[in-house]
Amino acid sequence: MTDKTPRDRGAPPPRSKAPLWFLLPVPALLLWGWVLRAAPEELLAPALAAGVLTAALLTVCAALLARYARTVHRLRNRIDAISAQGTSLAERDLPRAVTRLREGASAERVLHGLPRVEHPAGQAVLELVVAEISRAERRRAATVTACATAAGRIQAMTTTMLADLRAMQDDHGDGTAGADVLGDLMHLDHAVAQTGRTADSIAVLTGARSGRRWSRAIPLESVVRGAMGRIGGYQRVRLHHVPAQAVAGFAAEGIIHALAELLDNAAKFSPPTAEVHVHVEEVQAGLAVMVEDGGLVMGEEALRRARETVDRGLDIGAISGTRLGLSVVGLIARRYELSVSFRPSSRGGTAVVLLVPRPLLKPLDTGPPQASAPAAPPLPAQSPAPSDPGTQTAPQPHTQQPPPPPPVSQTDAPPGPADRPAAEETDTPPRHASGLPMRRRGRTLAATQRPEPGPTTPGPTTSARGFGAFRSAVRGQEPTGPPKDDQ
């Protein structure tokens, strides 16, 4: 017995690998063989029994240990697998699922696309999360759509109301007695215009368009004044010299709206007596509209926040309840590629510069003189217009705004390779390539329009001849007679 206890103690060491435990009884067997040989005869039987018992115990121990080791190994593998799955779920699958849900995929489809989580609880959590996000996303989309629809209706009503109000103002503004009514109508007009701006803001934030579309280019002065008309403190806004430019119809409403928001900010954040100045300046890239107020100087932090708000895309969660304006400006700026910059103003307040890119601009055609002589000026103004865009596609000529100089530069000396083709295009109507006369886009239209005054002179002769024929036909049968003879 005494010599077997040390063997027992020595057994535990090889614990690392399962098969090693089966070597455990081996030294015991060796020891046992030596004991059997060395032991005296009378002790042989008990030694034999004790040895067999110990060997059996050791074997059982070894088997148990091996089993535990296998179990531990399997469990560790499983834990590793589960933690790997958890990591990939958190880092890859869930974000992808959220993106797909945001894109409008249904919860079932998203779950189908994801690898299945082995653990049922994990799978349940995943399903719950996906279903919940999907529901939230649907709710959000429904809310946004409802807002957009409501805003669209208000926009439509506002547009109708503004048109009606203008008609009423025209009606009542003609009589001398109507001054009071006109004043009230103007007051209403102002209120409705502000309501319209709010509806426009909601529409833009929900991804819809600003109110209406203009079917023609809008002169810059009207753009700025249109923006002024939509804010509360428009009487404090001073508009300085405005270049003779117009904004393309499709972008005009957006720019009016963005400008209205900027003007509103400037008017709101400056003392009620301070004026807000609007300067418009032509620059290389387009047109810079500067809104300058004399209010509080925005600190660096506030400027940074304003820039961030404008730069950030649509993130409804990040919009604060009270400062919708700059987010709206940011969204519109992104849509029309306007650039908005903030800086401290020399007047003590803040200056915001809205840069309208050149492709959105058009030269102001026959702006104010249309009233004095509506017939004469449009023709000369229209005829140069077709010759410019004639050789190129429609939108580009506006980017190459300096066409007026080319004819001059061509007569002087063609300075660069870039200028030469432009000059040629503007001045070589008869033949362009292979010596053949080339027709220009717009030229035929101009030709058909120009002769129109001309034909009026031959017109009378033909009509007189016609009348003569008619008269002779009515009077006597002579003219109708000869044809019959001919036949």
Partner 1 sequence: MTRSHRDESPDRLHVITGGRSSGADGALDAVTLVVAESAPAPGMQSEHAAILRLCRSPTAVVEVAAHLGLPVTVVRILLTDLIDTGQVTARHPVSAPSRTHPFASPDVLEKVLVALHNL
309 lies in the binding site for partner 1 (CB under 8 A)? no
Q: What is the DSSP letter of 175?
A: S
216 lies in the binding site for partner 1 (CB under 8 A)? yes
Among 49, 56, 81, 167, binds partner 1 (CB under 8 A): 167
**CA 177, 179, 184: angle at the middle one, nearest 5?**
130
Q: How far apart are CA 95 and CA 110, in angstroms?
A: 11
Among 134, 155, 201, 222, binds partner 1 (CB under 8 A): 222
Q: What is the DSSP letter of 391?
A: S
Report the 10 Å Cβ neighbour count for 93: 18
221 lies in the binding site for partner 1 (CB under 8 A)? yes
Q: Are 245 and 317 in contact (CB under 8 A)?
A: no
Least distance (Å) between residue 165 CB and partner 1? 9
Q: What is the DSSP letter of 39?
A: S
178 lies in the binding site for partner 1 (CB under 8 A)? yes
Among 2, 16, 176, 434, binds partner 1 (CB under 8 A): 176
Q: How far apart are CA 90 and CA 77, in angstroms?
A: 20
Among 119, 138, 172, 305, binds partner 1 (CB under 8 A): 172
Among 14, 122, 152, 173, binds partner 1 (CB under 8 A): 173
Stretch that binds partner 1, among 53-61, 124-132, 161-169, 309-317 (CB under 8 A): 161-169
| Near partner 1 in 354-393, by CB under 8 A | 367-369, 371-372
Q: Are 197 and 184 in contact (CB under 8 A)?
A: no
Least distance (Å) between residue 178 CB and partner 1? 7
Q: How far apart are CA 326 and CA 309, in angstroms?
A: 6
Size of the site for partner 1 (CB under 8 A): 46
Helix, strand, or coil (residue 247): strand
Closer residue to partner 1 in complex, CB, 106/370: 370
190 lies in the binding site for partner 1 (CB under 8 A)? yes
Residue partners of 419: CB distance under 8 A and separation at least 6? 406, 409, 410
Q: How far apart are CA 381 and CA 33, in angstroms?
A: 124
Q: Which residues contact partner 1 (rule: CB under 8 A)?
A: 162-163, 166-167, 169-176, 178-180, 182-183, 186-187, 189-190, 193, 214-216, 218-219, 221-223, 225-226, 228-229, 234-235, 240-241, 252-253, 256, 367-369, 371-372
